[in-house]
């Protein structure tokens, strides 16, 4: 599938909500928390507009979205990736692959030291993510174990160790 990846604009916000809702919906949570999380993150100081990206189909439809927001390792800035969403009608065609590689490259270009996330190691290892504790970085919730992962970038310094904290809206989900 051919998509173009570009920054999210204000006009994309409703479509991003639809894609996020469709991607995360489950029978028990038809309106997933990730939709409200994005709405709370956008106006907060942790939102990094350079790192909120959409995947747009040939038809001009937003079919995927990814964002990294400001987080910290101890007191040092870093970024947290997520939510990441691809509309179920367009999954397994490389859209997620394009979004993650692009946002990692953008974060690297901005001089961020690392990207952290909570997710499946089976999926994210292909992007160079490793269990955070390999780098001396612990999850906000230690019970996340191997699901909390880190991808180091060019500006990474091994002295960057400690507890990772997400932007404040993540505490409410």
Ligand X SMILES: CC(C)(COP(=O)(O)OP(=O)(O)OC[C@H]1O[C@@H](n2cnc3c(N)ncnc32)[C@H](O)[C@@H]1OP(=O)(O)O)[C@@H](O)C(=O)NCCC(=O)NCCS
Task: Name which of 92 and 172 has its Cβ closer to ligand X.
Answer: 92
Instruction: By CB under 6 A, name the one of 33, 123, 146, 173 that touches ligand X.
Output: 123
Quick one: three-class SS letters along 148-163?
EEEEECCCCCCCCCEE
What is the separation, in whole angstroms, between the first and last Cα of the chain?
Answer: 33
Q: Which of 1, 16, 10 is nearest to 98 (CA)?
A: 1
Q: How far is the CB of 53 from ligand X (least distance, A)?
A: 12
Task: Name which of 86 and 104 has its Cβ closer to ligand X.
Answer: 86
**Is residue 93 close enough to count as binding ligand X by CB under 6 A?**
yes
Q: Which stretch binds ligand X (CB under 6 A): 46-54, 78-86, 127-135, 149-157?
A: 78-86
Cα–Cα distance for residue pair 118/124, rounded to 1 Å: 10
How many residues would you count in the chain?
173
3-state secondary structure of 85: strand
Q: How far is the CB of 112 from ligand X (least distance, A)?
A: 18
Residues forming the site for ligand X (CB under 6 A): 23-24, 82, 84-86, 91-97, 119-120, 122-123
């Amino acid at each position: 599938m051919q998509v173009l990846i570009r920054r999210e604009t204000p006009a994309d916000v409703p479509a991003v909500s639809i894609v996020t809702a469709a991607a995360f919906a489950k029978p028990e949570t038809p309106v997933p928390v990730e939709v409200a999380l994005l709405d709370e993150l956008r106006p907060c100081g942790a939102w990094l507009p350079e790192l909120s990206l959409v995947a747009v189909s040939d038809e001009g439809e937003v079919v995927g979205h990814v964002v990294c927001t400001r987080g910290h390792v101890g007191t040092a800035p870093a970024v947290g990736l997520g939510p990441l969403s691809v509309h179920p009608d367009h999954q397994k065609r490389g859209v997620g692959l394009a979004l993650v590689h692009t946002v990692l490259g953008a974060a690297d270009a901005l001089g961020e030291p690392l990207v952290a996330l909570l997710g499946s190691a089976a999926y994210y290892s292909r992007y160079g993510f490793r269990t955070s504790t390999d780098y001396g970085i612990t999850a906000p919730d230690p019970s996340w174990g191997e699901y909390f992962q880190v991808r180091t970038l060019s500006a990474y310094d091994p002295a960057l160790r400690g507890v990772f904290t997400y932007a404040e809206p993540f505490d409410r989900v």
